[in-house]
Each structure stands twice: as structure tokens, then as C-alpha cells.
Amino acid sequence: MIDSKDLFMKHIVDTEVSTDEVIDDLLLNPEIRKFVLDNDLTRLQIEEGLLKLMDYAKDTYRNQEGLLESRTVKDFVLTLSLVDNKIVSSYVRIKPEPKSNKIKLFNMPTELLNASLEDFQLLTDERRKAYNYARTFVNNFKTGNDLKGMYLGGTFRSGKTYLASAIANEIADKGYSVIVVYYPELSQVLKNTFSEESEENFTEIVDELKNCDLLVLDDFGGEAINPYIRDEALGVVLNYRMVKKKPVIFTSNINVSELVNVHLRKDGSGGERIKAQRILERIKEITEEFSITGKYQSQYKDF
């Protein structure tokens, strides 16, 4: 096929090639022909968009996989559309961006980086509700919007951690920073920072948890509460993230209503009840609660 742009330039210079010949040559391109027919383009529209069509013909080709691709912009393809009855072209990404390095696992198995929403098993109505909310959460996620996180309560090995990790992976793949934390281990690390020998810094860890775009706290409530960690770490992190509209996802073997008595309270004193209740209200305010039941058949043990 004749190079369309060369034909057009030759026509401009010495009029040896007519506009009709340029158009006829362009219509030999199956994608351009389909675009013209699908949009029922008039002769005038084609002539006014001739340069756009020639750019498309020059830049677009089919790769070894038979997919359309750009010759000049890697991983993109030039597309044609009709806007206000005029031909316009724009580049669209056809290959996903490289896997994000913005997900940080804190004492979590690296296998969970392969967790996918598509593989989450919809065994019960509650699981379907959780999945549907998770999909909506991922689709609508952006920094600073008023999107509630999730509190995934349920039985051991029901897939809570898997679902939370699948959400985390999709958010990280969008380019957002994500931290997935095994909460009992985090509590121990924070306690260890009180030691002079510790290489970890309490404030630095808390700041990381405060500022990432999405925070996942796995196995929340799975350890005895330390009042200082509750008030100076957990409380500070949750309050900051609530104000800044940064969502949190919890997984736990206990439901939200049980948290005060099982996890958040050190003893029965009035001051402890108030502090525990304050944390509980934060969790209720920033999450939607879901019950994940049923034995999850995962390729990863215990998730």
C-alpha cells in the first residue's frame, strides 16, 4: 500500500496525486474503513479529518499477537473517534503499567501479592455482599474521597485476609501506596521500640501507617491490648486517617461489637471503657462491616 502521508505531501507539492486517490488509499486500511462506515462519515468530514486519518494509518500496525499498537508510543495505540462531528485521535494505553512497587507487606506472606478479586469464592450471600462492596471500593478509590473501608469479620480460614489482600493489590496497581500489616506482629514491633536496643522508631512507623493511601490491618484483635499502643499508635492512626479520608481495611476473627470487651479494653475501669469506646466509634465511622463465613479453599494456607 502507498504511504498515505507521502501521497498527501506529494499532492500538496505538485498536485500529481488527487485527494480522491489519498482517500481511496486510506480506505484500504480495514480499521479506517470500519471507522468511516460505523460513523457514516460524509465526504466533507473525511476531507476535514484527512491528516488525522493519515497519522493513524502511518502510526498504527498489528503486532505479532494481532493487536493494534503504535509505532511511536510504546504500549499505546492511536484511536479514532468522532467528537462534534469531527474526527479526533488520541493515544490509549493497551498494556497495563508495570506492577506497582507501592505495596508494602509487614510480616505478611509474599504469596498474597498474587491475590485477586476474581478468585474470591462467592459461597454465601454475605460473601457476595463483601465482594460487591470490594469491587465498588476499588473502582471508586481515589485520594481524599469519602469512601469507607471494610471490616471483615469471620471465622478462621474463611478468606478474609485473601479478600483484603486482593483489594490491596488492585489499589496498588493503580499507583497508590498500600501497607498490609499483620497487626499482632505490628503491636509487638511497636512495643519493642521502647527498648534502647531497638532499631525501629515508634514515630516513623506510626507516620507510615498514617500516611499511606490504603492501610490493611490483618488479624485485628488477635492479641492482648497494650493501652499505650492503643492510645498512641492505633488511636492516632485511625483519627488521622478519618480526618484525611484515607480508608482502612480490617480483618478479624471477632465482630465489631465484641471489640470493646475482647480486645480494646485492658480492664473494667471507667477510663478504660471510654478509651476503648472511642476507638470503637472510629472503626464504625470509617468502615462497613461484613461477615465472611464458610471454609475458603485457598491455595495459600490459612488465608
pLDDT digits (tens, 9 = 90+) for 97-124: 554 557 898 888 888 888 999 889 888 8
- Rounded Cα distance between 140 and 224, Å, is 35
Question: Residue 75: left if φ>0, alpha if ψ -120 to 50, beta else—which one?
Answer: left
Cell of 270: 471507667
- pLDDT tens, per residue, the chain with 303 residues: 444 444 444 444 444 568 888 899 999 999 999 999 999 999 999 999 999 999 999 999 998 888 899 998 887 899 999 988 999 988 887 765 554 557 898 888 888 888 999 889 888 899 999 999 999 999 999 877 889 999 999 888 889 999 999 999 999 988 899 999 999 999 889 988 887 777 679 999 999 999 999 999 999 987 777 888 888 999 999 999 999 999 999 999 988 888 877 666 666 677 778 888 888 999 999 999 999 987 655 544 445
Q: What is the pTM of this model?
A: 0.65
C-alpha cell at 199: 532499631
- 206: three-class secondary structure by DSSP: helix
* Domains of the chain with CATH codes: 4-93 (no CATH), 103-292 (3.40.50.300)
User: Can you read off the three cell numbers belonging to residue 181?
Assistant: 500489616
Whose CA is closest to 107, among 195, 180, 162?
180
Grid cell listed for 143: 485520594
